[in-house]
Amino acid sequence: MYAPLLAHIARYVTLTEAEANTLLSYLKPQTVARKEYVVTEGQVCLANYFVLRGCLRTYLLNEKGGEQTIQFGIENWWLTDYASLDNHAPSQFFIQAVENTEVVVFEKRVQEEVFSQVPKLERYFRIILQKSAAAALFRIKFLFSLSGEARYHHFNNAFPGFVQRVPQYMLASYLNFTPEFLSKIRAKVGHT
Residue 137 binding its own copies, by CB under 8 A: yes
**Among positions 49, 125, 152, 177, the unique one binding its own copies when judged by CB under 8 A:** 125
Pairwise CA distance, residues 168 & 160, whole Å: 15
Stretch that binds its own copies, among 20-28, 62-70, 97-105, 161-169 (CB under 8 A): 62-70
β partners of residue 5 = none
Residue 159 contacts its own copies per CB under 8 A: no
For its own copies, the binding residue among 21, 25, 31, 62 (CB under 8 A) is 62
To its own copies, the closest distance from the beta carbon of 128 in angstroms equals 9
* 3-state class (DSSP) for residue 15: coil
Task: Look at residues 98, 50, 96 and name the one whose alpha carbon lies nearest to residue 75.
Answer: 50
Measure the CA–CA gap between 162 and 170, rounded to whole angstroms: 12
Q: How many residues does the chain have?
A: 192
**Is residue 3 part of the contact set for its own copies (CB under 8 A)?**
no
Determine the Cα angle at 177 with ends 160 and 153, to 5°: 25
Query: By CB under 8 A, is residue 143 in contact with its own copies?
Result: yes
Phi, psi of 53 (to 5 degrees): -160, 135
For residue 82, state whether it binds its own copies (rule: CB under 8 A): yes
* Residues binding its own copies (CB under 8 A): 58, 60, 62-63, 68, 70-71, 81-83, 86, 92-93, 115, 119, 122-123, 125-126, 129-134, 136-141, 143-147, 176
